[in-house]
């Protein structure tokens, strides 16, 4: 029960992050120490052996191999956050954007530091992977939104691309939907119960998750340090997008005022939250 509660809280943090275009739920999974298990558990659902167990009627083996308690606990946490916080976060982003982005900036900044400790040793390949990740993230966040048609094939494609981004730390799935011109359309589809559009996007997310998780699992298994370094680069690069102080969507250096003071305080709070979570996770691992 203690593990399930922790997974629910982790999922809740991931869902809270995924709501915001610019912050990744994958970053939260990394901070809270479930990222590699999450990728592996999703990968298992695309395994031929797993579904052969189900077809043979070996339900017990199917349940054991699928890690279903882990996945359901995380999924419930994510969906709970979306249901409970979407309106609140939308209001905060509209009325107090500097404070919200300052807090998330602190979260991501400290996350990059915490995750860097999971690279067992830094060499030339790890550093190159880090730089590639930073450049890739900067390119993604700098893309100009396009407007794809709302046909089934593009809805499936949008769902697949967005869900791949959601499980990458530093790259926001919501932001990818903004770039593809589908963020408002999909939000409207959810609000108006447009089941046809939701089904196509949902099919894309399933296909994207099952295929991309295999690639990520293979990379983490074969090139662990370089892959982690690349993911850290994604987080560092995404800081450009979530810098709190902007003028006409361009980052600026703010002048001293009350908003700057509270913004810096919230950055420090965001960093402290990550470091506290890392400390708690480390303490639990030692018990």
**Total number of domains constituting the chain:** 1
Of 244, 277, 284, 266, nearest in space to 114 by CA: 277
- Rounded Cα distance, 163 and 202, in Å: 10
Kindly report, residue by residue over 167-215, the tens digit of the pLDDT. 777 676 777 787 787 877 887 787 787 888 889 988 998 888 888 888 8
Phi/psi of residue 278, nearest 5 degrees: -65, -40
> What percent of the chain stands above pLDDT 90?
13
Backbone torsion region of residue 22, taken as left when φ is above 0, otherwise alpha when ψ lies between -120 and 50, otherwise beta? left
The H or E element containing residue 246 is strand 246-247
| The predicted structure's pLDDT at residue 186 | 81
Task: Evaluate if residue 79 carries a pLDDT over 60.
Answer: yes
> What pLDDT is recorded for position 182?
81
Distance CA(59)–CA(255), nearest Å, equals 62
Residue 75 has pLDDT above 80, yes or no: yes
0.95 exceeded by the pTM? Answer: no
Cβ 226 vs Cβ 118: under 8 Å: no
Tell me the C-alpha distance between 48 and 81, whole Å: 32
Distance CA 42, CA 36 (A): 10
Q: Residue 235: its pLDDT value, please?
A: 82
Segments forming the whole domain that contains residue 124: 2-286
Name the most confidently modeled range: 8-12, 28-32, 141-145.
Answer: 8-12
């Amino acid at each position: 029960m203690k593990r399930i509660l922790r997974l629910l809280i982790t999922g809740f943090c991931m869902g809270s992050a995924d709501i915001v275009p610019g912050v990744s739920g994958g970053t939260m999974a990394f901070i809270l120490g479930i990222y590699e298990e999450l990728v592996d558990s999703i990968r298992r659902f695309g395994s031929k052996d797993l579904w052969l167990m189900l077809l043979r009627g070996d339900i017990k083996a199917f349940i054991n191999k699928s890690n279903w308690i882990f996945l359901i606990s995380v999924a419930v946490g994510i969906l709970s956050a979306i249901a409970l916080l979407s309106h609140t976060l939308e209001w905060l982003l509209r009325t107090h954007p500097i404070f919200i982005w300052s807090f998330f900036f602190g979260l991501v900044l400290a996350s990059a530091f915490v995750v860097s400790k999971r690279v067992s040793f830094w060499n030339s390949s790890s550093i190159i992977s880090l730089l590639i990740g930073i450049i890739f993230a900067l390119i993604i966040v700098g893309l100009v939104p396009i407007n794809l048609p709302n046909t089934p094939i593009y809805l499936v494609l949008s769902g697949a691309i967005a869900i791949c981004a959601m499980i990458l730390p530093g790259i926001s799935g919501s932001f990818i939907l903004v770039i593809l011109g589908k963020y408002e359309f999909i939000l409207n589809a959810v609000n108006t119960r447009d089941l046809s559009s939701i089904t196509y996007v949902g099919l894309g997310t399933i296909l994207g998750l099952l295929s991309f998780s295999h690639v990520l699992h293979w990379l983490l298994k074969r090139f662990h340090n370089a892959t982690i370094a690349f993911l850290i680069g994604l987080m560092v690069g995404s800081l450009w997008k979530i810098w709190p102080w902007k003028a006409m969507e361009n980052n600026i250096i703010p002048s001293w005022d009350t908003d700057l003071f509270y913004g810096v305080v919230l950055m420090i709070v965001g960093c402290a939250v990550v470091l506290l979570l890392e400390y708690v996770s480390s303490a639990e691992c030692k018990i």
